[in-house]
Structure 1
Amino acid sequence: MGTPLGDFVRAKRDSLQPESFGLPDRGRRRSPGLSRAEVATRSGISVEYLTRIEQGRDRNPSHSVLHALADGLSLDAGEREHLRYLAKITGGGCPGHRPPAPPNREVRPTVRETLRLLEPGVAFVTNRLGDVLAHTSGFELVMGGIGLLDADEPNLTRYVFTDPRARSVFPDWDRVADEQAFDLWLGPSAESSEWFRVQLAPVAGPEFTRRLQRHLPPPQVPLRLDHPAVGELRWHREKLELPSTDAQELVVLLPADEATAQAVERLRHHRHGALRAVG
């Protein structure tokens, strides 16, 4: 049985192009990317040890091995941090006796006040599970029209994978789905992420579970949204991490072009200063 760490190492190895490392073309390869022997050589570890890690038979590699693997796989800073996190949860760094539980949904008053100051912009508070915890009236103006806020406790990840409207709302649905699945590995905690995965997997199906094994950080690109009333909207996203005790982030959506800015203005109905928090 695989592990999050082993799945990530294997997925990253498969994504690397041999020619990028000056490796010779040995004809048709049995699998894409680098071979285990090539990565083991680059990392200074044995092929047998790398195989044990990928297959989940070694769950506690040392810090020096993790550093060597990061070098051998040419991981960037974000990927190295993710590798360390996966090693922690794979090796039992998160207490196994605590049952999975949903995260705290409370938003601090000062964060709510920050949202108020961002009016009439498009902004919301979320966590890595995709919960929409609080938002500006501008966010409701844009997202209310696509059905995201219909639920009592709106969740972007659940919407993407279970609401049939999502595939038409997001022209780049595959990329958005990749982002939401990857974020689940980043918190708010290993326990709450496990709780959410267990809840969502039966209804989201293979499109969700397949992405959970991918582990490769998706590229950050403008978010495209096909709004039923005004057509395509393109957004830049600024994400501000709140203190670790909150395990939340403030996300601000900024129009990526003039057409989007004008479309949002057409949507406005003279609502000012409204803030709705989801309990």
Structure 2
Amino acid sequence: MGTPLGDFIRSKRDSVQPGTLGLPDRGRRRSPGLRRTDLASRAGISVEYLTRIEQGRDRNPSVAVVNALADALSLSPSERAHLRYLTKISGGECIVHAPPAPPPRHVRDAVQQTLRLLEPGIAVVTNRLGDILAHTPAYESVTKGSGLLDGEAPNLTRYVFTDSRARTFFADWDDIADEQAFDLWLAPSAASSEWFTTQLAPLAGPELTRRLNRHVVPQRGILRVNHPAGHELRLLRETLELPADDQQLTILLPADDETAAAVEQLRHRRRHHSALRAIS
């Protein structure tokens, strides 16, 4: 049985073209990407050892081996961080024996006050599962009519994978789906991720499962939104980690003058709603 670590290494190996690493093209082969022999040689390990890692038969490679594999695959800094994380959980250090449970949804008063200071800007507090925990009125303005905030406990990940409106609302739906699937690996705990994924997988189907197994580290570029009112919004994203809470504060900034004007128009439509909304 494989491991997330082995799946990630194999996925990256399959996606690397030998020429990009200065290796000769050895002709057609049945599977794409880098040969196992080439990767093992670049990393300074045996092919047998690499095979054991990829197949999940060796779950505890040393730090030196992990770094060597990262160098051999020319991983980006974010991909290296993900590789280290997968090494940790594949080695069993994150095994949780308590029954899986949802993470807390409480947002500290200090975080609520920070959101108020950001008004009239667009800001939202989430966790890695995609739970939308609190947001400014402007965030509601730019998502109004999309269905994202429907219900008492809105969740971005569930919305992306199970609500057909998400594919229209997010102009780059595939990229957003990759981001949400990737963040499940970084959930508040292995238990909470298991709890949520177990609930979501039957509804989301292969769209979620395929992305979880690919381990694509997202780029998180400009967020492009098709607002139901007819506006095309382009938003820059700045995310501040709240490690004490396992939460993130994301601020959305207009990327151009047209978006700034559209956001202002949307915000004025609901000026009478000025209170910060927290979702418990």
Deviation per residue, 1:204-238 (Å, 9 max, x gap): 00001000001120112101110110321111000
Deviation at 1:141, TM superposition (A): 1.1
Find the aligned partners of 1:132 and 1:220 in 2 and give their Cα distance. Answer: 18
SS at match of 2:214: coil
State how far apart, in whole Å, the 1-side matches of 2:94 and 2:213 are. Answer: 19
Conserved 8 A contact 1:240-1:250: yes
Which residue is 1:209 aligned to? Answer: 209
Deviation of 1:2 after TM superposition, in Å, equals: 1.6
Q: Percent identity?
A: 68
Superposition map of 1:1-279 within 5 A: 1-242=1-242, 244-267=243-266, 268-269=268-269, 270-271=271-272, 273-279=274-280
Alpha carbon RMSD of aligned pairs, Å?
1.2
Measure the CA separation in 2 of the matches of 1:161 and 1:152. Answer: 18
Structure 2 counterpart of 1:139, which letter?
A: Y
Which one-letter code corresponds to 2:186 in the other structure? Answer: L
Contact 2:178 2:218 in 1 (8 A): yes
- 1:144-184 CA-partner distances (Å, limit 9, x unpaired): 22110002101000000000101111121111101110111
Paired residues, number: 278
* Partner Cα distance (1:130, 1:165) in 2: 17
Distance 1:46 1:83 in 2: 19
TM-score by length of 1: 0.96
Instruction: Using structure 2 for the length normalisation, give the TM-score.
Output: 0.96
Report the CA distance between 1:29 and its aligned residue. 2.4
The CA deviation at 1:137 is 0.3
1:172–1:224 CA contact under 8 A, matched in 2: yes
> What is the Cα deviation at residue 272 of structure 1?
6.1
Contact 2:96 2:190 in 1 (8 A): no
**1:229-265 deviations in Å (ceiling 9; x for gaps):** 03211110000001x2200010001011111111112
Please tell me the residue identity of whatever aligns with 1:276.
Answer: R
Structure 1 contact 120–272 (Cα < 8 Å) conserved: no
Unaligned 5+ segments in structure 1 are none
Q: Which amino acid aligns with 1:261?
A: A
SS at match of 1:32: coil
Paired with 1:9 and 1:175, the residues of 2 have a C-alpha distance of 21
In 2, Cα distance between equivalents of 1:216 and 1:175:
10
Between 1:108-117 and 1:187-196, the stretch displaced more is 187-196
- What are the superposed Cα offsets for residues 102-122 of structure 1, whole Å, 9 maximum, x if unpaired? 111110000000001111111
Moved over 3 A (4+): none
Moved more, 245-254 or 186-195: 186-195
d(CA) in 2 for partners of 1:254 and 1:120? 11
Offset of residue 95 of structure 1? 3.1
SS at match of 1:251: strand
Q: CA deviation at 1:189?
A: 1.6
For structure 2, the residue ranges without an aligned partner over 5 or more in a row are none
Looking at structure 2, the residues matched to 212 and 68 of structure 1 have their Cα atoms a distance apart, in angstroms, of: 24
Q: Aligned partners of 1:81 and 1:265: how far apart in 2?
A: 38
Tell me by how many angstroms 1:76 deviates: 2.1
Contact 1:116 1:273 in 2 (8 A): no
- Structure 1 residues 271 and 252: alpha-carbon distance in aligned structure 2, compared to 1, 3 A threshold: farther
| CA distance in structure 2 between the partners assigned to 1:61 and 1:237 by the alignment | 35
1:146–1:165: 8 Å Cα contact kept in structure 2?
yes
Q: Secondary structure at the match of 1:188?
A: coil
